[in-house]
């Protein structure tokens, strides 16, 4: 009888002594989407979007100029005006190289400006607080930025908390 009672006690106590296995639950968030949704009404973002549109308009204008020069070059070649065709070819080359450099430089400037916007301390603090709130309330122990983690090959949309974070941020904005 003592053995039976002792074995029952052991069966009840031993599982309590073993450490509980804790599963790590991951969530993902698209910070670019959060940034866009959070800042879309701000003056800083409107300025960024206007600057981006101006750069795109400049690129489009320069591309049309190059296309017009190519058309003129073709016409010069058809008319047998080799001197004009060579001059136009040189001009096309110079403008194409300028366009490449301009695009590269302006894209880098815009990306830097966008990065600075998304890293402002107020924004990061608010996002961090909302991420923590959503993650803790839903039992996630880790949240990954979907765009920064190159190792994510697949994820279930059920773990994407982007929309919930945006809703919380927008709710706080209206308060």
pTM of the prediction?
0.52
pLDDT at 171 over 90: no
Is residue 6 in some structural domain? no
So what's the pLDDT on residue 41? 61
Is residue 2 in some structural domain? no
Average pLDDT of the segment spanning 129-147: 86
Is residue 31 in some structural domain? yes
Residue 133 CA to residue 130 CA, distance in Å, equals 5
Average pLDDT of the segment spanning 74-98: 94
Is residue 74 in some structural domain? yes
Is residue 47 in some structural domain? yes
**What phi and psi values does residue 120 have, to the nearest 5 degrees?**
-65, 140
Residue 132 CA to residue 138 CA, distance in Å, equals 10
So what's the pLDDT on residue 6? 52
State the helix-helix crossing angle for 82-118 and 43-78, rounded to 10 degrees: 170
DSSP secondary structure letters along 1-23: -HHHHHHHHHHHHHHHHSPPPPP
Range of the domain at 48: 13-174
Is residue 5 in some structural domain? no
pLDDT at 16 over 70: no
Is residue 127 in some structural domain? yes
Is residue 4 in some structural domain? no
Q: Which of 5-9, 24-28, 37-41, 121-125 is predicted least confidently?
A: 5-9
Average pLDDT of the segment spanning 112-127: 75
User: Where do runs of H (alpha helix) occur along 79-120?
Assistant: 82-118
So what's the pLDDT on residue 87? 96
Question: What is the domain count for the chain?
Answer: 1
């Amino acid at each position: 009888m003592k053995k039976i009672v002792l074995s029952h006690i052991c069966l009840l106590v031993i599982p309590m002594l073993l450490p509980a296995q804790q599963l790590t639950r991951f969530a993902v968030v698209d910070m670019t989407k959060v940034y866009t949704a959070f800042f879309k009404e701000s003056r800083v973002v409107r300025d960024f979007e206007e600057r981006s549109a101006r750069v795109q308009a400049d690129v489009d204008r320069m591309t049309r100029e190059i296309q017009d020069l190519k058309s003129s070059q073709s016409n010069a070649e058809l008319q047998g005006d080799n001197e004009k065709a060579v001059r136009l070819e040189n001009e096309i080359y110079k403008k194409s190289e300028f366009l490449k450099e301009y695009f590269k430089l302006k894209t880098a400037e815009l990306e830097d400006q966008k990065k600075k916007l998304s890293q402002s301390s107020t924004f990061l603090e608010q996002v961090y607080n909302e991420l923590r709130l959503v993650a803790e309330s839903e039992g996630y122990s880790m949240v990954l930025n979907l765009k920064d983690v190159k190792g994510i090959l697949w994820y279930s949309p059920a773990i994407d908390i982007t929309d919930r974070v945006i809703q919380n941020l927008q709710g706080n904005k209206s308060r």
